[in-house]
């Protein structure tokens, strides 16, 4: 019996140790991925800043190569962000994302070629390659821009359709809330409201009828809105009529 208990305790201990090791490895890997993303982002920022400075500060072949690389990287990054942001809401963008991945392979190859040409000492030969490199860059960036703009137009179209449907529903609801302004009740007088609002008394004199909802006639010329109505005489459509009190 004691051997079985010791075996169970040992197994539990080993399980906890294995679980701790697994959690630690996962945490280390996640931290490493976070550090790698931060380093990659910092590297891209530095490279973009350097290319921007070269494209504006240097003329000739060096400045043109920097301009081509900056244009390529900016277009590809903007398209990637737009597609990744929209694919979560629109599943049809998965095919567009697959096409972009294929386009990215050509973009990376072109970026490597441009980077190697920056270190080429024969500047005259590099200048002869610029027309072909410019054409390749324009083809890739044009394709990336077309994907990005199509995804944006699709998102805007869906948003516009949803807004139109919502506006139509709100108009219907608003009309339903104002049902008294469109029904025949607007031109029909309330029951009991005729041209004669007085009732002859037994003495032959006419006495004005009391306004419904007031406990009595207003005194001192005070507006009826200031005098609170008698709650016993206030009735709502959803309330049941009060039963008459029995007298003995």
The answer, yes or no, to whether residue 80 has pLDDT greater than 60, is yes
Q: Is the pLDDT of residue 219 over 80?
A: no
* Cβ atoms of 87 and 101 closer than 8 Å: no
Residue with tokens 């809330």: 177
Whole-Å CA distances, 92 to 85, 150, 209, 230: 13, 12, 72, 65
Q: Which two tokens stand for residue 30?
A: 């996640």
Position 134 confidence tier, pLDDT thresholds 50, 70, 90: very high
Which pLDDT score, from 0 to 100, does residue 248 have?
42
Please give the biggest Cα pair distance in the chain: 125
pLDDT of residue 36: 66
pLDDT value of position 243: 45
Q: Does residue 125 have a pLDDT over 60? A: yes
Q: What is the pLDDT of residue 35?
A: 72
pLDDT score, position 21: 83
Residue 53's pLDDT band, with cuts at 50, 70 and 90, is: confident
Tell me if residue 180 falls in helix, strand or coil: helix
What confidence score (pLDDT) does residue 183 get?
Answer: 53
Predicted TM-score of the model (pTM): 0.56
Nearest-angstrom CA–CA distance, 137 and 74:
12
Coil, strand, or helix at residue 120? coil
pLDDT at 55 over 80: no
Token digits of residue 246: 């029995």
Alpha helices in the chain, H assignment, sequence order: 2-57, 60-87, 93-118, 123-177
**DSSP string over 208-233:** EPPPTT-SS---TT--TTTSPPPGGG
């Amino acid at each position: 019996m004691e051997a079985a208990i010791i075996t169970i305790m040992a197994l539990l201990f080993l399980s906890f140790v294995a679980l701790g090791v697994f959690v630690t490895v996962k945490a280390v890997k996640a931290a490493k991925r976070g550090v790698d993303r931060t380093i990659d982002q910092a590297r891209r920022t530095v490279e973009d800043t350097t290319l921007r400075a070269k494209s504006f500060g240097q003329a000739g072949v060096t400045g043109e190569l920097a301009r081509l690389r900056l244009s390529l990287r900016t277009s590809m990054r903007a398209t990637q962000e737009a597609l990744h942001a929209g694919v979560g809401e629109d599943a049809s963008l998965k095919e567009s994302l697959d096409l972009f991945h294929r386009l990215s392979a050509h973009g990376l190859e072109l970026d490597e070629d441009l980077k190697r040409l920056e270190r080429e000492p024969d500047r005259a030969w590099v200048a002869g390659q610029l027309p072909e490199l410019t054409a390749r860059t324009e083809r890739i960036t044009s394709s990336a821009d077309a994907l990005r703009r199509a995804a944006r137009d699709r998102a805007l179209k869906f948003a516009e359709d949803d807004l139109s449907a919502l506006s139509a529903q709100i108009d219907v609801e608003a009309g339903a809330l104002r049902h008294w302004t469109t029904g025949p009740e607007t031109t029909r007088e309330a029951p009991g409201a005729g041209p004669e609002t007085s009732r002859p008394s037994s003495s032959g004199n006419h006495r004005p009828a009391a306004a419904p909802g007031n406990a009595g006639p207003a005194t001192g010329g005070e507006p009826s809105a200031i005098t609170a109505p008698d709650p016993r005489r206030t009735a709502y459509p959803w309330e049941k009529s009060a039963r008459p009190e029995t007298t003995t």
